[in-house]
Amino acid sequence: MSPTEGCATKGMSLLTLNERETTTKRSKPRKRDIGRIRVKGFSIDLPRDDVESALRKHFSSCGEITDVCVHVLTDNLLSDRGFIYFLGGQGTVDKAMQLSGTDVGGWNVIVEPYPFLENADWDPVAFVQGYDTGLGKTEIKRMLFNHFSSCGQIMDIEFHNSTIGVASVYLYGEGAEDKVLDLDGSYMGGCKILVKHIITNGIYTVHPRRRHYGWPRMYLIDRLVTLSRHHINRAKPLTREKFLLKSQTI
């Protein structure tokens, strides 16, 4: 068997639904690439579409806008604040802050920065595929532990739905997201692996809507499962010794 003959060719249900997206590094924006602001000053009895359209036009010079969101409350009045997301990071926020106090069609907008939490990209879950499935679960887990240990603390390693061809690596640490993304397309045991990730604290370019409007249902389910598992496991990261001992019981 050639060095790459045993590399995974099955269990493709998760990562290769869209192979082009999977094999393209940095297909999702990182925290440092996203700018967020919170805006106030509009009348809450205005039509939402009018407010969102005016905000989008007013802040279009600051950078590429990915979302403008103003919530409608249960009494059909607007929330007193809206949210605008940009691609371009802190530079877009700085430009938007310069527009605070300016007129937006009869009302003056108040702009506040709305950054993500400092540790919002510290706990990614890496979905991995492409490794040699002929090695067995214990050996694959050992290889994954060694390969991803440079990204942060390894909290757990699991196989997706009992399929050996897709593994989930739970991590925690500063800069873990960037490091995980850097391993997409890297070689592990002679096989080129594919890596996708979810940030459990939430890095996104579209503001969450009520009733998870606009959020894919399966993403929400996976996210809730991830959060519950990670909450349990975060308090006890695996050391190399503990991991090897745990692997012997598989």
Query: Which residue, among 226, 198, 177, 182, has the nearest Cα to 30 in the 3D structure?
Result: 177
Bridge-based pairing state of the strands 34-40 and 124-129:
unpaired
**pTM, rounded to two decimals:** 0.58
Domains along the chain with CATH numbers? 15-26+121-247 (3.30.70.330), 31-113 (3.30.70.330)
Please give the full DSSP string across 130-166, using - where no structure is assigned.
-SBGGG-HHHHHHHHHHHHGGGSEEEEEEEGGG-TTE
Q: Which residue has the tokens 């959020």?
A: 215
Tell me the C-alpha distance between 22 and 151, whole Å. 19
Which stretch of DSSP H or E encloses residue 9? none
Paired strand residues for 172: 153
How far is residue 30 from each of residues 12, 77, 124, 199, 220, measured CA to CA in Å? 25, 34, 12, 10, 20
Written as tens digits, the pLDDT of the chain (250 aa) is 555 556 754 444 444 434 434 334 445 677 889 999 999 999 999 999 999 999 999 999 999 999 999 999 988 899 999 999 999 999 999 999 999 999 999 999 999 999 988 777 788 889 999 999 999 899 999 999 999 999 999 999 999 766 779 999 999 988 888 888 899 999 999 999 999 877 665 678 889 875 433 333 444 444 444 444 444 444 456 555 555 555 555 4
